[in-house]
Amino acid sequence: MFSPLILITAILNGLLTGAVYALVALGLTLIYGVLHIINFAHGALLSMALFGAFFAFRLLGLDPYLAALFLAPALFAFGYALQRFIIGPASHGDDRNILLVTLGVSVVIENVLLYAFRADTRTIDVPYAFQTLDLGFTFLPIPRVIGFGAVLAVAVALWALMTWTDLGKAIRAVAKEKLGAELVGIDVSHVYAVTFGLGTACVAIAACLLIPTYYVNPTVGEAFVLIAFTIVVLGGMGSVPGALIGGLLIGVVESLSGLFLGESLGQIGIFLIFIMVLLVRPTGLFGVKA
């Protein structure tokens, strides 16, 4: 049996890891939960954003946290254009087509990255990468603590946007009743593209928070996507608080099950919880019945 201090440390580590999961899932919950687009390209977009943060640091000397200010709008624009000019027109309004188009987009993005940057794994070394917060009984890496705070801030901002702004109301209206939204004058194609852009911007911020302590290669995003899909279903589709709480919960479950069952079996805990939620509360923790 592990000492309480180790258990507390494992929980804290789980929360810090879960925060990044939550941010990736926030992007997905908008796209998947609100627009019902199963975005297979989400992982490839994360890889792309990680490369963006990497080269911003290597070529321009931009700190990743600073780079987020430029990368988020850039990825927003990319996501907007992707939905507006590729995914939207190519899908012809059929969900099955969207599935295939996003899968195709992910294959294209990953292979363009592979062609341009090879499969080499790259890392950056920022001065604070190894700085830690000394809690007396454990050390918490500073970049991950910053990441945790940033994710909370983004989640609050996104929640405020969805709750109080006209754009948020339009997104929710489109999610609930597309035809009705169109009838009251909402530009549905624009709202779709903006939502996709917001989801992609979340991925850009996640990339900037990850890169100081993680690595990038053309397929690195895949590792986060399955977890993100789980979090979206667990938290409730389209729910911003759901994605945040779900992400943190999954982080802690993964950490504790890794500690007790071993890292190889650590993922079991996540999927057990996932199955339980589907059985007991299929709408997710914060979801509402359709």
Is the CB of 200 or the CB of 213 nearer to another protein? Answer: 213
Tokens 């923790």, residue?
A: 285
Is the CB of 17 or the CB of 200 nearer to another protein? Answer: 17
Q: Is 117 left (phi over 0), alpha (psi -120 to 50) or beta?
A: alpha
60 to 63, 66, 89, 105, 206: CA distances (angstroms): 9, 11, 36, 28, 20
Residues interacting with another protein, by CB under 8 A? 2-3, 6, 9-10, 13, 17, 114, 118-121, 123, 125, 129-130, 132, 138-139, 141, 213-215, 217, 219-220, 223-224, 255, 258-259, 262-264, 266-267
Is the CB of 126 or the CB of 285 nearer to another protein? Answer: 126
The gap between the terminal CA atoms of the chain, to the nearest Å, is 44
Is the CB of 140 or the CB of 167 nearer to another protein? Answer: 140
Is the CB of 80 or the CB of 224 nearer to another protein? Answer: 224
CB of 53 to another protein, least distance (A): 16
CB of 106 to another protein, least distance (A): 16
CB of 199 to another protein, least distance (A): 21
Please, are residues 251 and 16 in contact by the beta-carbon 8 Å criterion?
yes
Is the CB of 235 or the CB of 258 nearer to another protein? Answer: 258
CB of 14 to another protein, least distance (A): 9
Is the CB of 114 or the CB of 161 nearer to another protein? Answer: 114
Please name the residue ranges forming H helices in the chain. 4-28, 42-60, 64-81, 88-91, 95-117, 142-164, 166-176, 178-183, 188-210, 222-235, 240-261, 266-280
Burial label for 168, CB within 10 Å (0-12, 13-18, 19+), is middle
CB of 55 to another protein, least distance (A): 16
Please, are residues 23 and 202 in contact by the beta-carbon 8 Å criterion?
yes
Is the CB of 14 or the CB of 284 nearer to another protein? Answer: 14
CB of 221 to another protein, least distance (A): 11
* Nearest Cα to Cα of residue 200 among 66, 79, 101, 22: 79
Amino acid at 93: G
DSSP string, 180-235: HHHHTT--HHHHHHHHHHHHHHHHHHHHHHHTTTS-B-TTTTHHHHHHHHHHHHHH
39 φ/ψ angles, rounded to the nearest 5 degrees: -90, 95
CB of 274 to another protein, least distance (A): 18
CB of 119 to another protein, least distance (A): 4
